[in-house]
Amino acid sequence: MAVLTTPRRFQRLTLVTVLVLTAYLCFDRLNYFPDGTEQLLRAWKHEYVPSSFDWGQRRLKHPFDEANLARLPEGEPRELPKIQYDFSKDEPTQLHAEIQKKRRIAVKQAAEKSWAAYRKYAFGTDELLPLRLVGVESFAGWGATLVDSLDTLWIMGMKKEFIEAVAKVGTIDWANTTAEHCSLFETNIRYLGGLLSAYDLSGHRVLLDKAIELGDMLYAGFDTPNHMPANGFNFEPAKQGKLVASRDESSAAVATLSLEFTRLSQLTGDPKYYNAIDGVKLALERTQDTTALPGMWPVFVDLENGFVATGNTFNLGASSDSAYEYLSKMYMLLGGLDQTYKKLHTKAMAAAAKHVIFRPMLPDSSPAAPPDILFSGTVMSNGRTVELLTEVQHLGCFTGGMFALGGKLFDEEEHVKIGDRLARGCAWAYNAFPSGIMPEVSDVLACDRDENGEAAPCEWDESKWKKEADKWPGSSKLPKPFFSARNPQYRLRPEAIESVFILYRITGKKDLLDVAWTMFQAIKKSTETKHAHSAISDVSAESGSTKKIDSMESFWIAETLKYFYLIFSEPDLISLDDYVFNTEAHPLRLPKPGKRG
């Protein structure tokens, strides 16, 4: 063993000290010196630990026809219509800039607090229980909050936290799970979407490597006799090619895989992922005009028998929402090179605007200028009669952004206006409840449609409200025109602020900034705990006395806080002309004319 002399010991100690200090300073300043941060991060090496089972080497039991494999559309991406408002023509005052900065800081502080609690008490687990301060495995145990939050950490400039999270992600073993199965849909939007977005933003190769591993696993969900995806992804049967698609599957589960699988094909050059989801597109096209509500698909479809769409329930909410959301977004991600997605979107939105969207009947508190708002309901149709159920779902609040985005993309100005009224409808519902937040599921009085099928304004009918309210216990404490709150909870959901954010970015209407800030303040006051934020049991309670539910799902950081942060940020941060958001708010980079991938 070598023995160091005193001078050599001193030299070695000095060298180690310098190296440690240099590493510390580089690491510490990532949060405070944005210039050069990206280069530093790219140089930061993360260990990639391959999963113990390689799904990419598994042979399909039901292989696709290689001769007819669908490939990404050929040709240079088209110049798409400009989606985002031209903010450069406005000259915000210094006061305006300072106000938005303070708001942005407040949102970031909520994210920092939530992440710090997750990191301390639940790092690497799926979710933090914010009251008991323990981790829980609810999405197969791969760290749903960890992966889901990656791009939020990056966008908010939390680079040290991002680096630490990426290091953990590099060691995820997709074969090491806490369950026998997972949801193909949830795993796709949270995990695969989170990895792809974080890679698109940061360029860290380990993220793409893990995305490829996971994509290969999820690809096995299409290894069924008819290549329709099996959302109930049981791991052992999947390895043996024994999965079978469900006879009663939500339309969202089958049609909300396309963005992520397409982006993975774009990044890797491997067409297999895109080929898998192209079959779903063809099924949507084949059935769109033959359902009980032509233009839309029922909430549940039969996949085992080849996508049979004979159900009679239709909505833009739970179990179907993102199936519609992805149509216009796929058109964007493919650079406008597949007109099928345009056709699917425009037909679906025309049917929804005619049958599903409605105007609430409002009380006489402001008859001179009632708010011009809309909600999205649920329709029961047998192909001959159409019945509207005026059920309002928080999940359905994303529709404002969807209508507006599609309206700008396909030059349907009326749909931009519908989107504005839908977004303001949910914001109005927030403000109507004592907590400043709308419930998960409620029912509201609606105006009838006029002879032209339009949801025209109508006068308040107290007796009609009372007749409906008498059917529901506790309805007397609800603000009119709500006559029930079938699920009065708020689970930290993002859909309302999502639409407000998109409408602001599309229209440039500055009052939406104040709308968003009012929403954020109410959410913060009602959900904040000592260490994080928590779902609440009843939005009818005053904001200072809401009862907490021990739940903080990964979308709180991944979606809700991200949208609040972005609306108060400079508009060129994740521009709608450069990125398309998946349904979990993960921005994926759009291809540009003259560029690939």
Provide the angle, in degrees to the nearest 10, between the axes of the packed helices 258-268 and 321-333: 30
Whether 447 contacts 359, CB under 8 Å: yes
Spatial separation of the C-alpha atoms in residues 147 and 185, rounded to whole Å? 15
Which listed residue (161, 213, 420, 440) is catalytic? 440
Residue 14 class from Cβ within 10 Å (0-12 exposed, 13-18 middle, 19+ buried)? exposed
What's the rounded Cα separation, in Å, for the pair 42 and 33?
15
| CA–CA gap between residue 412 and residue 346 (Å, rounded) | 9
Please tell me whether 583 is known to bind a ligand. yes
What the block records as the tokens of 345 is 């979107």
In the β-sheet with 378-381, what is the strand arrangement from edge to edge?
A: 313-315, 378-381, 386-389
Compute the half-sphere exposure of residue 571: CA atoms within 13 Å on the CB side of its CA.
Answer: 22
Is residue 414 annotated as part of the catalytic site, yes or no? no
Let me know if 65 is a catalytic residue.
no
Does the active-site annotation cover 98?
A: no
Active-site residue, 321 included? yes
Q: Is residue 294 within 8 Å of residue 288, measured between CB atoms?
A: yes
SS3 357: strand
Phi, psi of 408 (to 5 degrees): -70, -40
Catalytic residue among 213, 302, 321, 498: 321
Length of the chain in residues, anyone? 597
Determine which one of 126, 127, 151, 186 is catalytic.
Answer: 186
* Token duo for residue 222: 């299409």
Residue 127: closest CA among 110, 146, 111:
146
Q: Is 12 helix (H, G, I), strand (E, B) or coil?
A: helix
Q: Which of 209, 223, 495, 559 is catalytic?
A: 495
Measured in whole angstroms, how far is the alpha carbon of residue 193 from the centre of its chain? 9
- CA neighbor of 194 nearest in space, from 168, 176, 175, 220: 168
Helix (H, G, I), strand (E, B) or coil at 509: coil
Annotated binding site: 583
Annotated binding-site residue numbers for Ca(2+): 583
Q: Among all residues, which ones are annotated catalytic?
A: 186, 321, 440, 495
